[in-house]
Structure 1
Amino acid sequence: MYAYWETVATRWKDNDVYGHVNNAVHYSLMDTVINTWLVRTAGLDIHDGDAIGLCVESHCVYKASVSFPEPIRVGLRVGHLGRSSVRYELGLFREDGETVVAEGHFVHVFVDRETRRPAGIPGPLREAMGELVIGDDLPRPL
């Protein structure tokens, strides 16, 4: 189950020569949904904030094909929230919210913008991430 949902349109250029959305696009969609949530909902200041999140790990398992112009429903949750790191877990679904297209994760380590040394996740950002931590009462796909 996922705590945050966003629908993302596929683009004409996302299809590869085999007629389906190319695997690299899945990573881009996951990265986009994570960072959209961080900026719009969690309040991450990507331009002037003291801490920034760097991706140190990513993974994707492909389950089904999808093609333009199908929209993709992306579910986001936090699987682990550490002092300076967070593991985001994502599910990519067909528009019905039931058929899994891919599942993956990204790990961000938060670092000081200047020194690039690990830094604690700032309080308001940590609180927002806490709302995405996996639990039994999370909403189902719309």
Structure 2
Amino acid sequence: MSSRPQPDSRDTYARFVPLTTRWMDNDAYGHLNNVVYYSLFDTAVNSLLIEAGALDLHAGPVIGLVVETHCNFFESLAFPQRIEAGVRVAQQGRSSVRYEIGLFAEGAATCAARGHFVHVYVDRDSRRPVDVLPDAYLAALKGLTP
């Protein structure tokens, strides 16, 4: 078995998104349920894409479909903590992008969880991968590369 993953520090991420936890995010053990982490990942990345003018949820010709996800947990997070999601682009292909996200308790030096997901960008109607990412996406991704 490979060595145990270690948490990342803040300086390894290109951008940060502040996120708020909710009472319903906690599970019976008093911390965020594991599925909430994936929701926070998705929210952080898509917020940045919307802010950059790349993602148009309702009418954009290109959408991203998640084809791979992963998460490592290092420390518990729980409501009512505020979270800062660090986002970076780790790999970019012709029609796919691997986003890496670190979830930090507000002000923490290292992440409590680190994960990634891969978006394959497809034509909204045909659901086939695009030949090349639109310029708005390319510009947004440039800002997410550390």
Q: Which residue in the other structure is 2:47 paired with? A: 36
SS of corresponding position for 1:100: coil
Shift, 1:130, TM fit:
1.5
SS at match of 1:125: helix
Point out where structure 1 has 5 or more consecutive residues left out of the alignment: 135-142
The 5 A counterparts of 1:50-129 are 50-119=61-130, 120-129=132-141
Kindly report the root-mean-square deviation, in angstroms, between the aligned alpha carbons of the 2 structures. Answer: 1.1
Name the structure 2 match of 1:132. 144
Give TM-score scaled by structure 1 length.
0.90
Out of 3, 7, 10, the position equivalent to 2:18 is: 7
C-alpha displacement of 1:72: 1.0
Structure 2 residues without counterparts, runs of 5 or longer: 1-11
Distance 2:124 2:18 in 1: 31
Q: Distance in 2 between matches of 1:68 and 1:111?
A: 35
How many residue pairs align between the two structures? Answer: 134
- Separation of aligned partners in 2, 1:26 and 1:55: 15
Superposition TM-score, scaled by structure 2 size: 0.87
What percent of counterpart residues are identical?
A: 51
Residue-by-residue CA offset, 1:7-27 (whole Å, 9 max, x unaligned): 111111111111111111100
